[in-house]
Structure 1
Amino acid sequence: MASSTPFPLKWGIMATGWIAEMFVQDLLTNPAVRDVHDIRHQLFAVASSTNASRAADFVKKVKGPEGVKTYGSYRELVADPDVDIVYVATPHSHHFQNAMLALQAGKNVLCEKALTVNASQARKLVQVAKEKNLFFMEAVWTRYFPLSIKVRELIQSGTIGPVYRVIADLSFNKDLPNGKVDYDDSHRLVNLDLAGGALLDLGIYSLTWLFQTMYHLQPEAEKEAPKVVAAVNKYFTGADEMTSMILQFPKHKSMGIGLTALRVGTDVDGLNTGGPAIRIQGSGGEIQVMGPAYRPLQYKVIRKSEPGKVEVVDCPIPHDKERDWGHGMFWEADECARCIRDGKKESATLPWSESIVIMETMEEVLKQAAPDSSAAPITSQASANPDLYEATHVHKVYSQIAPHFSLTRHKPWPLVASFLSSQPPGALGFDVGCGNGKYLSVNRDVYLIGSDRSAELVGLARDGRDLDPDVRAVGEGKREVVTADGLALPFPEGRADFVVCIAVLHHFSTKERRVAGVGELLRLVRRRRGKEGEEERGKVMVFVWALEQGGSRRGWDEGAEQDQLVPWVMKGPQVKKKKKEKKVRGGGEEEGEVETEEKKLEEKTFNRYYHLYRKGELEQDVEAAGGLVLESGYDRDNWWVIAANVAS
């Protein structure tokens, strides 16, 4: 006998942006409004990647209940033992690392679409979900609309005969007279560093309709991944601004045409006068779905056997009058609750295998958009012109964020401080890539000279004003710091007793440059004779970010891409912004627009290039540069070595 008590699901929300806001407001609506009585959702915890107060502001904004936990890091969220499922609402450029963080922590996951930025990442997430016996689903909310379910049922029942062609479009007209589109160059839709472009953000909905009406309905024994032909127009940032795809299923004699663009709109006048966003064409008729493709509210059925007759079916979004809300994302949340309640690890409506095939399709589309390097992987872009790539994605970024960056870098890491403290009085050393100079005063009995590629950080390092009082320079005068390139250091060869290079080498964008960077460090150190006549070599200590960070808030681990663009979010002063919001009547019908004003901190995101070192890779680079590894290990999500120059 079925339980009369609704199954409760405790949600942890990862990120506090607008998509998370929409989702959580749907979670908080009364399930009875949509005739759901077997499950219920609880907003249990919310995490911001920056601070807990931002998470608290989010809970207040969505009118969450009392007692919701708030965290200032994703790592804290996934460590909460009472969270049943984590909703990953970060930009899709960060889905892999964030979803992996939650899965590795043993949490069920609902991850926003596009699931990842490539198929290999999707496969790795599925593999981990399988290994850990966890529920994992891509948040393609449109699939769970009653409208989508009804359309699939009509196709399966043969209402329009065998389906041979589907045309689906989701495009926004953001064209401007100056040749640009109406998005800031840093906006995720056009920012290649955030995996931007029309395809991954909008085109996923066009593909959703092609897949759920063709591939998904193929008999399991006859599943046929599509052959793909694509054409892409690029925006000046390198992101795709218009993409057209033909998906061919030869064995099923069918094709799908998927369209997405930023310069023309699917809905010309906001009233769907231009016709349907989706046309599903069979030998016996056609089903037309009125846009937008992500949130359709009406479909039409035209039968060949009934000329001139059009069956129109409206499917409004249930509206919770008490909360004055109802967007349509609650249906995918309901699916998660029922799957977890019933012990299922994937949804039959969007199984893991299908999410992977969709990612393979998008990957093929972007591959065909090459050969120009703007759509190529990070490694290809970097190898084409590493100097220019690092100037853009490392040097320029640190120049812009230097003061903010410095304020977050106070206390020396213990292992580095121990290494510096072990150097004998009077020893000469260099801190290559010294940043704000937090290590320059750790051992005041040695002579330590700093260098950094960023002139802005060099200026901060000279006076040490941002450092912890315990390590701040004492006495008169400035500290010795110079602006220098890590591949061409202005220091003499073989004079140093020790060198430290902390969190620097991972910013070099090719293998050759990383090895060369190690070689420069080794060049500086010398050999000397100790009191007993034994040979003593100068030592180099190096720290680099590790690929294996499964326990950190970043969530990278084996299987992830080693070359990453890592965001640095810098908040500016509070600004007032006016925005237009659509008023919604009961039933989900849009009534008009009202202008509201909100105050918020201005944020800007800068993306820094990092190469994540796998286990053993740093030691290999040291040896390739002619060095001898004396010690090595793992600390604080970093690999480290202490090495000597055997050729010195």
Structure 2
Amino acid sequence: MSTSLGWGILGAGGIAGAFARDLSTGGHRAAAVGSRDGERARAFASKHGIPAAHEGYEALVSDPSVDVVYVATPHSHHLEHALLAIEAGKHLLIEKAFTTTGDDAQRLVDAAREKGVFVMEAMWTRFLPTMVAARERVAAGDLGEVVSVVADHSQMLDLSPGSRLIEPSLGGGALLDLGVYCVSLAHAFLGPVARIRAAGVVDDAGVDHRGAAILEHAGGGMSTVTFSMETLGSNRATIAGTEGVIELDPSFYGSTAYRRRHESDHDEAAESFTPEHEGRGMQFQAAEVERCIAAGQLESPTMPLDETVAIMRVMDEIATQMRDSSRG
């Protein structure tokens, strides 16, 4: 339980609310919230028991009670708001997708390194007990050599007129909202991507609604990722090796169970894992941020900044190929 660092929540939408609840569950301290709408900030602060509410993001990042800023605005505004916090000398946790392009991701990382502040992408899945246990099994050699990852993230989301998800200026699309989980999972277990083959459905405004990609990884592994914001899917994932497989239950990107099967076990599970914790699980990424800052680290070894940039560049190429395939 840590209350040493004060968190400032930049944005007062749904994901910000989920994070605020889990901060409290994990024993972390929310010091302030900021929104363009002062009334909305005050309502958010009252609901979540946050001491200070600011109208405008400049006021939030200037608050001396704030040590770490959690950026929870749309993808399209992450770079702008993160640079504002970096200039103020604040540490950062930035919602995924980190930015909308690989170039913007690199610009943000360069600015943070020059300023000497901690920054991490809020890929909360990596810090959940399920993923920690899966990485331990892989590190122990229980799957042999990992050669394949398959992941699906498909939901029927609100695509009605006015929805952020179909607005290109707000970073709308299935890839940035949903596909990022799949690409990040594949990258985590198979490493850098060498070749990409992707296709998708993109509307006239340039917003992708669904897509799929086959990724060839530099180490020889292959992954398949599918994502959609207009259809339901399995929302399962598998991490397969030469001697076994981990099967992640739906929804693989959340706090879920897994089964591990060994090549000699056939259909019987060699191990089952079911996480037990309070809340949604977003407190684990907050704990990692605080642990790293206390240790004097400016990035997390579990979600390194260069990997975040590499993932964004993979998604750049997937997006390009989806647009090309949709035109064809």
The TM-score normalised by the length of structure 1 is 0.49
**For the residues of structure 2 that align with 1:138 and 1:328, how far apart are their CA atoms?**
15
The one of 12, 20, 25 equivalent to 2:21 is: 25
Q: What RMSD, in angstroms, separates the aligned Cα atoms of the two structures? A: 1.9
| 1:354-409 Cα distance to aligned partner (Å, 9 max, x none) | 000000000011122234999xxxxxxxxxxxxxxxxxxxxxxxxxxxxxxxxxxx
Q: Distance in 1 between matches of 2:129 and 2:273?
A: 11
Secondary structure at 1:245 match in 2: strand
Tell me the equivalent position of 1:210.
Answer: 186
1:228 equivalent among 178, 183, 196: 196
Residues 166-565 of structure 1: matches in 2 within 5 Å?
Answer: 166-173=149-156, 182-215=158-191, 224-250=192-218, 252-267=219-234, 277-311=236-270, 313-319=272-278, 326-371=279-324
For residues 568-609 of structure 1, what are the alpha-carbon distances to aligned partners after superposition, in whole Å with 9 as ceiling and x for unaligned?
Answer: xxxxxxxxxxxxxxxxxxxxxxxxxxxxxxxxxxxxxxxxxx
Deviations 1:436-488 (A, max 9, x none): xxxxxxxxxxxxxxxxxxxxxxxxxxxxxxxxxxxxxxxxxxxxxxxxxxxxx
**Distance in 2 between residues matched to 1:373 and 1:70, nearest whole Å:** 45
Matched, 1:11 2:7: yes
Other-structure match for 1:80: 63
Of residues 131, 142, 148, the one that matches 2:114 is 131
Q: Give 2:29's match in structure 1, choosing from 35, 42, 48.
A: 42
The answer for the alignment partner of 1:516 in structure 2 is none
1:307 and 1:259 mapped to 2: Cα distance? 27
* Alpha-carbon distance between aligned partners in 1 of 2:153 and 2:88, rounded to the nearest angstrom: 36
Residue identity opposite 2:4 in structure 1: P
Give the superposition deviation at 1:334: 0.4
Select the structure that is richer in helix. Answer: 2
CA contact (8 A) 2:209 2:230 kept: yes
Q: How big is the shift at 1:297?
A: 1.2
Question: How far has the Cα of 1:317 moved from its partner?
Answer: 4.5
Amino acid at match of 1:24: A
Find the aligned partners of 2:201 and 2:318 in 1 and give their Cα distance. 12
Q: CA deviation at 1:207?
A: 1.1
Identity %: 36
How far is the alpha carbon of 1:137 from its aligned partner? Answer: 0.5
- What is the letter of the counterpart of residue 345 of structure 1? L
Q: Deviations over 1:227-247 (max 9, x none)?
A: 211111123543111111111
Deviation at 1:185, TM superposition (A): 2.6
Give the secondary-structure state (helix, strand or coil) at the position aligned to 2:225.
strand
Q: Cα 1:372–1:185, aligned 2, differ >3 Å: closer, same or farther?
A: farther
Q: Deviations over 1:196-215 (max 9, x none)?
A: 11000000111121111111
Gap change, CA 1:112 and 1:77, over 3 Å in 2: same
What letter corresponds to residue 235 of structure 1 in structure 2? D
Shift of 1:20: 0.3
Kindly indicate whether residue 41 of structure 2 is the aligned counterpart of residue 55 of structure 1.
yes
Q: State the secondary structure of the residue aligned to 2:201.
A: strand
Alpha-carbon shift at residue 24 of structure 1 (Å): 0.4
For 2:316, give the aligned amino acid: E
Q: Deviations over 1:43-70 (max 9, x none)?
A: 111111122x2211001222x15xx111
Aligned equivalents of 2:186, 2:13: Cα separation in 1: 28
Q: 1:373 to 1:308 in 2, by over 3 A?
A: closer
What residue in structure 2 maps to residue 492 of structure 1?
none
Distance 2:30 2:156 in 1: 36
One-letter code aligned to 2:128:
F
Specify the structure having the higher radius of gyration (Cα). 1
Q: What CA distance in whole angstroms lies between the structure 2 residues aligned with 1:209 and 1:136?
A: 20
How many Å separate the matches in 1 of 2:276 and 2:11? 25
- Runs of 5+ consecutive residues of structure 1 not aligned to the other structure: 32-39, 175-181, 216-223, 268-275, 320-325, 375-648
> More relative contact order in 1 or in 2 (CA 8 Å, sep 6+)?
2
Return the alpha-carbon distance in structure 1 between the equivalents of residues 252 and 83 of structure 2.
29
Distance 2:40 2:266 in 1: 58
Matched-pair contact (CA < 8 Å) for 2:179–2:227: yes
Q: How far 1:291 moved relative to its partner?
A: 1.4
| AA of the residue aligned to 2:62 | A
TM-score where L is the length of structure 2: 0.94
Secondary structure of 1:189's counterpart equals: helix
Match of 1:70 among 30, 37, 53: 53
